[in-house]
Each structure stands twice: as C-alpha cells, then as structure tokens.
A and B are shown apart, each in its own frame.
Chain A
Amino acid sequence: GAVVSQHPSRVICKSGTSVKIECRSLDFQATTMFWYRQFPKQSLMLMATSNEGSKATYEQGVEKDKFLINHASLTLSTLTVTSAHPEDSSFYICSALESGQGAGTDTQYFGPGTRLTVL
C-alpha cells in the first residue's frame, strides 16, 4: 500500500513557540491531504482539508490563523502550530488522498502521527 510519512514523530516545545509538522506522500501524488487531531482517550477529529496550490478548508472551531497549513507540492503538506500553548498538546495525524479510477475509489492513507507536547 501507499506510504505516508510525518516528521517529527515527537516534539516538545515551550509555550509561545511555533512548531511545524511535515506530511509527505512517499510513493504517490496527493492533491488533497487531511489533518486530524487526537486528544488523549478521544477519537480523531478532522481539523482541515489541505489542497495543493490553494487555501486549506478548516473545520468549524479550528482557528486558521493558529494552525497554518501549506500544501505547496503534490507530495508535501505542512501544519504549523503558531504560538503554541499547553492546550495544543495533542497527537496530530495527517492523511494523504490517493485518487482512484472511478467513483468512490479514492483512498486515504495515514501517517504515523506527531505527538506534540507544549510545556
């Protein structure tokens, strides 16, 4: 199956700093990528949809100025958590969409996640 990588896998930062997380599709091109967030013992919640060459679409309640998304190429999307605070500590998982042939054949492949801890 297709492979999606994330970097870094784990990051600890001080409150007020910015953190960038990279998501790469290694063996396919992804026009669309998704960013999810998972708090402890909670499920994955979609934060935003990242589209190559255009602005990201954010879910209700997600601050676009705090979570900056850049999808500058067909294999790379980045999520920058700006002015991070302890409440931003979470597990961030990206997903890249591989287009299939025919309706309903697109497949989401998930990265291994990035654990962010803000002190």
Chain B
Amino acid sequence: KQEVTQIPAALSVPEGENLVLNCSFTDSAIYNLQWFRQDHGKGLTSLLLIQSSQREQTSGRLNASLDKSSGRSTLYIAASQPGDSATYLCAAPNSGNTPLVFGKGTRLSVIA
C-alpha cells in the first residue's frame, strides 16, 4: 500500500527566499503525482500534476519534479511571499492512478 512522507513538517522562512519541499513515496508504480495547497480551515487547491512520463512541471514560481526510480518528488517555490503561507500536500496514487494517498504536509510560513 502506498505511503507518502513529507519533510519537513513545518518551515518558516523570510520573504524572498527560495525553498524546497520534499516528498517521498513507497510505491513507484504510479501514473502521476500531485501537489496541493491547503489554507487553514479550507479545502484543497491543486497546484501541479506531474505525469510519470514527465520529470518536472512548472507553474509560475512553482516547479515540481518527479523521480519515480527513487520514489521522490520536490516542490520548489521561488521568491517566496507571505501569501504562500499554507500547508502543502503531496499525493500519490495507491495503485496506478487512484485513489490518491496524501502525505502529512509541510506547513509553510513566509515572514514579511
């Protein structure tokens, strides 16, 4: 059964810093992996979806990479802003494509 681990659990950085969030998964037989953002007390916002055939995906200041062979993914946030403060969740499918299994998240605080 898929297990997803995220490191660090929490991170506090000053505004403007570049940062990397890490995700590892145990079952590499996946079609894709997703990163989500969750604001406090709110639902999920999908950030990036990386297909297994891709090595990375970019959206604005966000870049996610996927290395299936090592069971790792990273989310890179460039020039962080206070508005980036949220919990970031990594999710990989339990088998193949669905359902998604979530990590515990990284709680990010960007200090102005």
Contact of A113 among B42, B52, B98, B103 (CB under 8 A): B42
Q: Name the prevailing secondary structure of the B interface residues.
A: loop
Number of A-B contacts (CB under 8 A): 52
A-side residues, CB < 8 A to B, are: 1, 32, 34, 36, 42-46, 49, 91, 93, 95, 97, 103-108, 110-113, 115
Q: Tell me the smallest distance from the CB of A100 to a CB of chain B, in Å.
A: 9
- CB pair A46 B31 closer than 8 Å: no
- CB pair B99 A103 closer than 8 Å: no
Contact of B43 among A49, A108, A112 (CB under 8 A): A112
Q: Name the prevailing secondary structure of the A interface residues.
A: strand
Which of A1, A103, A106 lies at the interface centre, i.e. has the most chain B CB atoms within 10 A of its CB?
A106
- CB pair B42 A104 closer than 8 Å: no
Residues of A contacting B100 with CB < 8 Å? 95, 108
Convert B53-71 into 0s and 1s, putting 1 for each residue whose CB lies closer than 8 angstroms to a CB of A. 0000000000000000000
In the assembled complex, the Cα of A75 lies from the Cα of B102 at a distance in Å of 24
Given A110-B43, A113-B42, verify A104-B97 contact (CB < 8 Å): yes
Q: Tell me the smallest distance from the CB of A110 to a CB of chain B, in Å.
A: 5
